[in-house]
Amino acid sequence: MSHSAHRCGTIRNLQNDYTMYARTSRYVNREGCGPKLRKILEIFLSENPVNFGSSHSGKSAAAGLDPREYARSLDKGYAVACCFSNASAIKNVLVKLKEADTGISIVVSGLVEEIKKIAGDAGLKPHTALLSLGFHGRKELLPEENVLEITTMCGHGLVATHLVEEAAEKVKSGMLTPEEAAGLLAQPCPCGIFNLDRCVELLKEQLKEISKEGGVKS
């Protein structure tokens, strides 16, 4: 799942940010995969994910996707994605998936060393590691780092730079709370890997920086 591998940030603010993706393969195990995907969704939901969804659903839980309706749609689906904010939830999900043995590929994204440890604690050994090599080329054209930390949580680039900047300004002015802004910013990303918890923390961190500089106080 390469679109989850390019989240920008520091080691500190990327901790406790995990995505998980279950995907079938055309001509291999997609035919009749609905019951297996529903089982996987059930396991995901049992550990209270921050967000969930998939591109075929058209919207994420953060945008109002109903889990029961979503489960029924999986007969015509091919994947389920979600994100979590704590390592214990990921470990528990992996243990349950191992026991369920659906035969569907599972991808977990996060800081590599953390994922390796979590997998080991769950009695699993990662099959493959996909690493991001960062940005190359005319990086001066990129948005500010604090904007990229939020936009890259939607790996398909559907959370616009200007939307993030506007939401951040409204948080700074007191027009929106960090939680309200995070809910707004999660709307365009249907895959369900936009981590609202992390977004809230990033926005609060921006408020702290402003406070230190003598601007708007958090």
Has this prediction a pTM greater than 0.75?
yes
> pLDDT confidence of 52, banded at 50, 70, 90?
very high
Least confident stretch, 124-128, 167-171, 185-189? 124-128
Asked if the model's pLDDT at residue 215 lies above 70, the reply is no
Helix (H, G, I), strand (E, B) or coil at 2: helix
pLDDT digits (tens, 9 = 90+) for 104-133: 999 999 999 999 999 999 999 988 888 888
Query: Taking 50 as the threshold, does the pLDDT of residue 218 lie above it?
Result: no
Q: Would the pLDDT of 142 be above 60?
A: yes
State residue 217's pLDDT score. 44
**Average pLDDT estimate for 158-183:** 96
Q: Find the mean pLDDT for residues 53-79.
A: 93
pLDDT band at 211 (very low <50, low <70, confident <90, very high): low
Kindly list the distances between the CA atom of residue 189 and the CA atoms of 67, 97, 100, 139, 214, in Å, as whole numbers in the listed order. Answer: 16, 25, 29, 24, 34
Do residues 165 and 147 touch, judged by C-beta distance below 8 A?
Answer: yes
Strands of the sheet with 105-109, listed across from one edge: 51-53, 79-84, 18-23, 105-109
Q: Do residues 121 and 95 lie in contact, with contact meaning Cβ atoms separated by under 8 Å?
A: no
Domain parsing of the chain, residue ranges: 2-121, 139-212
